Each structure stands twice: as C-alpha cells, then as structure tokens.
Structure 1
Amino acid sequence: MKTLRLLHRWTGGLIGLLLALMGLSGALLVHEDAFLRATVPHAADAQRQDAATLGAMATRVFAAKDRPRSIVLATERMGLHKLSYKKEQQAAFADQDGNIVQAWTSNWARPEVWLFDFHHHLFNGDAGEIVGGVAGLAGLGFVITGLILWWPTRRMFHLRLWPRMMKRAAIVHHHRDLGVLIAPLLILSLTTGAAMNLKWFSQALRAPFSPPAVMEKASAPPKIKGGKLAKDLDWTKVVAQAQARFPGAEVRTIGLPAKAGGLIGIRLRQQAEWLPNGRSMAWFDPATGKMVASRDAQAMPLGSRIANLDFPLHAAKVGGLPYRLVMTVSGLALTLLGTLAVVTFWGNPTGVPKRRKPKLKVVAQAA
C-alpha cells in the first residue's frame, strides 16, 4: 500500500496540472455551440436539410476561387456551416445559403478552435494527441489507485465541494472524497478520451467484440477510381441520392476528393447514431455525380459501433443539457483534483508530516 501511495502521489504531482487544464478546457468545449450562437451571426439560424438548399449552398461554396476541401453542415444547435481548406489552419463559417460569415487562417483567431487544439492536440499535432492519450491513461490509473487508497478511510467520507480548510490534511481528505464521488464520470471521460487519441488502446477495448482487422476493413473507403471533378456538377442531385440511400438521415459533411482519382464523400447521421457527424457514408464519382458506393454505420461490426460512441459520450453530444451539465461537473472536478494534487505534492513532495518545533518555556528566575 505504501508503494501504491507513493505512485499515486508522484503521478498526481507530475501530471496533475496537465489533467486539470484538460478538464477545464473540456468543460468549456461542452458549451461550444451555445458560445457560437451568442457571438457569431446566423449561428442561431434554424437548420435546413432539404436537398435543394444544401445543393445550392454546395454549388456556391465549391464554385469559389478558393474553394474548401470539405463542409461540416449546420446542426439543430448551431446554424452555421464550417468550411475547411487545404491549408491546415484555414477555415470559415458560412450561413446556410453559402455566404461567408467569418474566416480565419490561424487557430488563434477563434477561441473555441485553439481551445480544441489544446484539448485534443496540446498545440502539437499528432505528437500532442499521443501525449494527451497517455495522460488520459495515467489519469485513469490515478483514479483507480485513488479508489484503492480511499477504501481503508471510507468511514471518514464527507461530501464537500471545497476543502474544510486550506491545510494539507484537509485538502488530502477532500481530494480523496471528491475523487471517489466523481470517479465514475472521470473513468468515462478519461477512457473515451484516451481511446480517441490512442488507436491501439481503442482496438484493445473493442477486441473482445470485433477483431481489429475486421473493424479496419469495415472502415476502409471503397477502392473505386473517380473521374475529374465536373465544373457543372449537380450538387442537388448528389445530395438527393445520399438522402434516398439513407431515408430520414441527417446530411452532415460534404467532402471533395483528397487527390486525383478520389471520390466525393458525404457523411450522414442516421437517427440511431449518437456520433454527431455519423458514420454512414455515400461516395460519388466527381465527374458524373453518380453514387458508386455506400456504407451503413448500423451494419458495421459491433466493436466499430461501440467505438463510435466514444466522442458523443466524451463531448456530451447526446443527452441534451442535463448530460452537458454532468460532463461540465466532471471537467471542473478534474480541474480541482489536479490542481490541489499539484499544490499538496509540491508543498511537501515526501508526504511526511512536518513536525512542529516545541516551544521553549522561559522560566523567570528569582532575583
């Protein structure tokens, strides 16, 4: 138990601040759509999903001289389309008629963009994504060891949102009790976060349900060569074909071919899918606009379908406002736990209580 306690303390002291910042950024990102509706014109517009509107918008956007490579379409909670370009940090918001509302060429231009870049990539691309995933695994181990260490002291449990006093003993007591109380949510958020960042971890979790090779094959795009993108492509017809293939599904993204010979890809979210942008796909020949392949997310292997739940559970994209508030509490609790872990550790890295020096009594001598 002593070794476990040392491991727990040193882990918290070394990565506690990183976990605290990830918890805080995650709690803020849960409310990204509400922030955009309050600050960006047309973000509160009602969603339009008819083929004519989407087709006219796509025609206008992709006809621009500096056309985007993909469009993430408006949702019920956010009435703007997001355009992504070939340049990594170039993006824009467009209204549902295709008019550019805001554009930027740096992640630092939009607060929710750089906040996501930190939370998911630690401002360091793929390398930061791996580090964040490892931090999530460390945080998961931190929660598990904390539960083990708390068990012998369970009869001393007290529900407090803040330490009774800002002294080490009171902070440690509060840290243990709050950690136990919020542990199920932390396990959920840390596990799903690590699974999204670390492919091997995700595959290991799903392996009992579906072999990794089977999941990889099910997610692979079709090996079909497309023609050159037609200048007069009928985007309304393209969108209508996708909607006919998946009746009642929400059209979520429209993407141009990434390279010569590639296909146009449209992602859709069926009602049974929790993932905001769905995993159902329809592919089209860029030269003719004819649908050449499709993929039903509901027919994917069980392991893949379970993996598709990671993001909506992690980012509170299901469950409405109640679940968003629950995940906000989880993020803020992680912020508090991580911060106080760092404070108590670096205030006394050894963990040995400091002994007070006895006060010397001065005895007056008789003259």
Structure 2
Amino acid sequence: MTLLDTLHRWTGGLIGLVLALLGLSGTILLYEHLWIGVPGSGDPLRGDLATVAATTERLMATPGAQGIIYADDRFGLHQLRFAEGAGAYASQSGDIVTRWTSQWERPELWIFDFHHHLFAGDSGEWVIGVAGLSGLFFVISGAILWWRTRRTFQLRLWPKRMSRPSIVMHHRDLGIVVAPLLLISIVTGTMMIFRPFALGVVVPFGPVAETAKALEPPKYSGGPLTETPDYTAMLTEAHRRFPAAEFRILSLPRKANDPISLRMKQPAEWLPNGRTTLWFDAATGAVLASRDALAMPGGAQAFNMAFPIHASKVGGWAWHILLTGSGLSLTLLGSLAVWSFWFRRPKATKRAAGKAALATSQ
C-alpha cells in the first residue's frame, strides 16, 4: 500500500498540471457554442438539399477553399476551411461573416488544438494519451487508497486550509465523489488518442480484428481534381442514398488522385459529425464508395460513441452539467496535487523526526 501511495503522489506531482489544463480547456469547450459570439451563430438550421447545395457551390468557389463544416442545430454558421489553419464563418446563405488567417485569431480553434494536441501535433497527442492513462491510474489507485480513511470522509468543494494535510484530505474525499465521472471522461478521451486502448475497451461489443478493420480509413483512388466539381450532383446523390441524414463535412482531396469525401449524420448516430461517408471521384464526381455508419460492426459503433459522450454531444443539459463538474474537479484536483507536492511538501527535518518516532514505537 505504501508503494501504491508513493506512485500515486509522484505521478500526480509530475502529470497533474497537464490533467488540470485538459480539464479546464475541456470545460470551456463544452460551452463554445455559447461564447463564440459571431453574428448568425444562433440562426436556425436550414438543411434542405436545395439550400445546402446552392450554398456549397457558392462557398467552394471561394479561392483556396478546401472544405466545409456545415452548420447544425447548435451552431448556425458554416465553417469554410483553407490551408495553414485559415478559415471563415459563413451564413447559411453563403455570405462570409468573418475570416481568419491563423487559428490564433479564433479562441475556439486554439483552445481545441490545445485540448487535443497541446499545440504539438502528433507529439502532443502522445503526451495527452500518457496523461489519460495516468489519470486512469489515479482514479483506480485513489479509490483503493481512500478506502483506508473512509471513516474520516468530509466532502468540501475547497480545502479547509491551504496546508498540505487539508489539501490531501480534500483531494482524497472530492476525488472519490467524482471518480465515476472522471473515469468516463478519461476513458473516452484516451480512446480517441490510443487506438489499441480503444479496441480493448470495446471488446465486449465485437471481435477486435473486425472492429480494427472497420475503423481503418479506406483508401480510394480516382482522377485529378477537376476545376469545376459538380457539388450539387454529389449532394443530390448523397441525399438519395441517405435521405434522413444531415450534411456535415465536405473535404477536397489532400493528395493527388484522392477522392472528395462527404460525411453525413443519420438521426440514430450520436457522433455530431456522423460517420456515414461517401467518396466521390475528384475528376468525374462519380461515387467510388459509401459507408453506412449504422451498418458498421458493433465494436466500431461503440467506438463512435466515445467522442459524443466525452464532449457532451448527447444527454442534454443534465449530462452537460455533470461533465462540467467532472472537468472543474479535474482542474482542481490536478492543480492542487501539483501545488501540495512541489510547494507544500513536509520539511526534511519533520519527515526524519516522523520516521524516527515510528521506529522508536516499533
């Protein structure tokens, strides 16, 4: 038990600040649709084929446009994407509302990048993944360590004093209360970073090999991108195949001979941008393949539920509030763990005296 306690404290002292910042940034992102503050962000969704097709043709004619994230029920503007992090918000009629040349001009974009990549791309994802696994260890080991002191339980939202004993007591008792929510947040977040971990979590829903194959990005090859893609024809065909689905993300090829992709969301899908996808030949606009997200293997469908659970895209305001508590608790627990470990450590003389007293008593 002493070894477990030591590992819990040292790991918390080293990685606690990362977890605290992830908890804070994640909580802020839960409410981004309320604070972005761009005119038209609250407009009602107009998702009919004619309106979306006309707007797509107009927006994709913008020089340098590489794709569109379509408006939805929460955010009433389309997001037009350009190279190097540039972009624009446009009304559902196709009028540009605001533009930016870098993600640093839009707080919702750089906060998202920090939460998902720590501003470091793939390397940052690895750090977040390690932090997630460490957080999982904290929750499990913390519950084990709390059991010894369960009779002294006192729930406080803030430590009684900013002394190390008070912080430790607060950390222990608040941690056991929010442990179930932290477990959900950490597991779903880590699933999106470490695919092997995700495959292990969704094992009850289907064979690992079947799930892994379904989650692999398909590779289709077509002709070079034409100068005038017929987006209306593509959207019309997509709507014919999935008439109840919403248009979510249109993306031009990133490399030569890659297809144009269109993601859609069917009503039964939890993922806000859906996984129902069509791939079109960039030269002719012909359909190369389509994927019905609701026909994917059980393990893949379970994996697709991780993000909406993690980001509170399902569950309404009740789940929103619970995840807010989870994020703020992680921020508090992580930051105070670092503070107490590095700045409120017992002095060496006191530790030595305590050890001597213990040896004498034995």
TM-score, length basis structure 1: 0.90
* Deviation string, structure 1 residues 68-105 (Cα, Å, up to 9, x no partner): 22211001010111122232x22221111222222222
User: What is the aligned counterpart of 2:74 among 59, 62, 77?
Assistant: 77
1:163 shift after superposition: 1.6
1:116 aligns with 2:112: yes
Task: After superposing the two structures, state which structure 1 stretch, 133-142 or 211-220, moved more.
Answer: 211-220
Name the CA shift for 1:125/1:351 in 2 (closer, same or farther; >3 Å).
farther
Match of 1:365 in 2: none
Structure-2 separation of matches of 1:16 and 1:221: 34
- The structure 1 residue matched to 2:51, chosen from 50, 53, 77, is 53
Aligned-residue identity in percent: 53
Aligned pairs (5 A) from 1:114-153? 114-153=110-149
Cα distance, 1:233 vs. partner?
3.8
Query: Would the alpha carbon gap of residues 351 and 188 (structure 1) be closer, same or farther in structure 2, given more than 3 Å must change?
Result: farther
Residues 152, 351 of structure 1: alpha-carbon distance in 2 compared, 3 angstrom cutoff: farther
Q: Give the conservation status (yes or no) of the 8 Å contact 1:345–1:351.
A: no
Partner AA of 1:134 in structure 2: V
The structure that is helix-richer by fraction is: 2
Q: Tell me the CA shift for residue 257 of structure 1.
A: 2.3
Measured against aligned partners, the alpha-carbon deviations of 1:260-294 in whole angstroms (never above 9, x if no partner) come to: 32222111111111100000112223333333321
CA distance in 1, matches of 2:349, 2:79: 55
User: Distance in 2 between the 1:160 and 1:189 partners?
Assistant: 22
> 2:32 aligned with 1:32, yes or no?
yes
* TM-fit CA distance, 1:190: 0.8
C-alpha contact (below 8 Å) 1:22/1:119 kept by paired residues: yes
Instruction: Show CA shifts across 1:291-322 (max 9, x none).
Output: 33211111111111111011111111111222
Query: What's the CA shift for 1:132?
Result: 0.6
Written as runs of structure 1 = structure 2, the 5 A alignment for 1:4-15 is 4-15=4-15
Cα distance in 2, alignment partners of residues 220 and 160 from structure 1: 46
Matching residue's letter, 2:11 = T
Gap change, CA 1:55 and 1:187, over 3 Å in 2: same
Query: Counterpart amino acid of 1:81?
Result: H
Q: In structure 1, what is the equivalent of residue 359 of structure 2? A: none
Query: 1:217 offset after TM fit, Å?
Result: 3.0
Q: What is the distance in 2 between the residues matched to 1:195 and 1:44? A: 32
Amino acid paired to 1:34? L
Secondary structure of the residue aligned to 1:126 is helix
Alpha-carbon distance between aligned partners in 2 of 1:252 and 1:114, rounded to the nearest angstrom? 21
> Quick check: 2:70–2:248 contact (8 Å CA) kept in 1?
yes
Query: 1:150–1:176: 8 Å Cα contact kept in structure 2?
Result: yes
Aligned position for 1:335: 331
Task: Give the aligned partner of residue 102 of structure 1.
Answer: 98
- CA deviation profile, 1:147-182 (whole Å, cap 9, x unmatched): 000001112112221122222222211111100000
- The CA deviation at 1:231 is 4.1
Q: Whole-Å Cα distance in 1 between the matches of residues 118 and 22 of structure 2?
A: 9
Contact 1:285–1:292 (Cα < 8 Å) also in 2: yes
2:63 maps to 1:65:
yes
Look up the match of 2:357: none
Pick from 285, 303, 314 the counterpart of residue 318 of structure 1: 314
Q: Deviations over 1:307-349 (max 9, x none)?
A: 1011111111111222111111110001111111112112344
Q: Would the aligned equivalents of 1:80 and 1:94 in 2 still touch at CA under 8 Å?
A: yes
Separation of aligned partners in 1, 2:243 and 2:318: 29
Q: Distance in 2 between matches of 1:248 and 1:198?
A: 32
Distance in 1 separating the partners of 2:327 and 2:333:
10
Q: Does 1:197 align with 2:193?
A: yes
AA in 2 matched with 1:85: F
- Note the residue ranges of structure 2 that are not aligned, 5 or more in a row: 354-362
Distance apart, 1:61 and its partner CA: 1.5
Asked if 2 retains the 8 angstrom alpha-carbon contact of 1:31 and 1:324, the reply is no
Partner Cα distance (1:185, 1:18) in 2: 18
Q: Distance in 2 between matches of 1:100 and 1:345?
A: 50
Matched positions, count: 353
Shift of 1:353: 9.4
Pairwise CA distance, 1:354: 3.7
2:75 maps to amino acid: M
Q: Which amino acid aligns with 1:13?
A: G
Contact 1:222 1:293 in 2 (8 A): no
SS in 2 for 1:103: strand
Corresponding residue to 2:157 among 140, 158, 161: 161
Indicate conservation of the 8 Å contact 2:88/2:96, yes or no: yes
